[in-house]
Amino acid sequence: MIEFYTLGTSSAVPTDKRNLSSNFLNFQGNKMLFDCGEGTQRSLMVHNLGLMNIDNIFISHWHADHFSGLLGLVQTMGMEGRERPLFIYGPKRTEEFTKKLLELGYYNRNYDIFAEDLEPGNIVEFENFQVKAVETKHRVKSLGYVFEEEDQKKVSRKKMEELGLKPCKEIGMLKEGKEVEIEGKKYRPEQLVSEVKGRKIVYTGDTEFSEKIVKESKDADLLVHDSTFTEELRKDGRYGHSSALQAAKVAKKAGVKKLVLTHFSRRFTNSTRELVEEASNIFDNVVAAEDGQKFEIKPHRP
C-alpha cells in the first residue's frame, strides 16, 4: 500500500484550518516529503507519521509557503538525535538556499544534510522506485514531481484459479522466468505471469495549466494539482497558478484515476465546494484535499 497525506493545503498564508503546502508519502517504509511549508512537523506529529524517518525532501520551489517549515524540522531532527543523513532536492538554487537556511540561528546538528539542484527530466533513483523532476509554469524556477514504482512481474490470481492452482513455491519461480512442474503438469511463465505497470503519483507544486504536466501525468493513479482558485478568478489576471477547471482538464487529458485539488486561496478556507463543482464538470473522480487527509493506492494486479 502507498500512503499519501496532504499535510498542508493552503496557499501563500496559513489559515486557522489549513497549514501551508506539504505532502507526505510512505512507500514500503520509504518516507518522504513533497514541500515543507509552515506547520509541517506538527502535522507529522499529529498524524503519527514519524518525522525522524524522513530521509528525502523534494521542494517544488523557493517561495516561503513551500519551504518555511524546513528549518524547524531540521532542528527538531537534530534535537532528537538524528544521525543518518537527510537529502533535500529542488530546482536551481536549492543547494544555495539550503546552505543559507542552515546557517540561521544557534543549534547543534550531528547529521549531514545534502542538497541537490535538479533540472526538469532529472531522476532520483531508489531501490524499487524513482522520483522524476518535471517542468511547471510558475513565476519562479519550479518543479513538479512524479513518483513512479518500477514495473513488476506478477502472477495472475484469476489465471491460477482457472488452472486450478494454489499458491506454492513453484508459482514464485514462474516470475523468475522458469518453467515449473506442479502435480505432474508443466507450466510456462507466459501462462500465468504478466508485467504490471508500477503505481504513479504526480505532485505539481505551483503551476498554470501545462501540456508538459499532462504528458507526465499520463495514467497516474493520483494527480495532486494546484487549484488555487476558480476559473473566473484566474481570468481576472492571476498568473502562476491553476484554477480547479484547469486541474480537471489536465486530469482528463492525462487519463488519471483520481484528482486531488490542493493549494487553496484563503477565500476557500471554509468551503471548497465551488472548486470541486467546477472540476467535476469535466472530471468525475475529484476531491478537495483537507489537511491530514490520507490517500491509499493499492498494488496493481494483472
Domain ranges of the chain: 2-151+197-297, 153-193
Residue 71 main-chain phi, psi, to 5 deg:
-65, -45
The string of pLDDT tens digits covering residues 42-71 is 999 999 999 999 999 999 999 999 999 999
Catalytic residue IDs? 65
Contact 249, 243 (CB under 8 A): no
Q: Look up residue 158 and give its three cell numbers.
A: 484469476
Residue 167: band (very low, low, confident or very high) from pLDDT cuts 50, 70, 90: confident
The string of pLDDT tens digits covering residues 185-218 is 776 766 667 778 999 999 999 999 999 999 999 9
Residue 288: band (very low, low, confident or very high) from pLDDT cuts 50, 70, 90: very high
Give the mean model confidence (pLDDT) for residues 252-277.
95
Residue 150: band (very low, low, confident or very high) from pLDDT cuts 50, 70, 90: very high
Contact 5, 23 (CB under 8 A): yes
CA dist 102 and 114 (Å) reads 11
| CATH dotted code for 2-151+197-297 | 3.60.15.10
- Report helix angle 70-79 to 94-102, nearest 10: 50
Beta bridge partners of 129: 149
Position 249 scores a pLDDT of: 98
Position 174 scores a pLDDT of: 67
Which pairs from 252-256 meet CB under 8 Å and 24+ separation?
Answer: 252/282, 252/283, 253/214, 254/213, 254/214, 254/215, 254/217, 254/218, 254/219, 254/220, 254/223, 255/218, 255/219, 256/202, 256/217, 256/219, 256/220, 256/221, 256/222, 256/223
Give the mean model confidence (pLDDT) for residues 78-95.
97
Give the mean model confidence (pLDDT) for residues 153-176.
71
Contact 31, 8 (CB under 8 A): no
Beta bridge partners of 114: 87
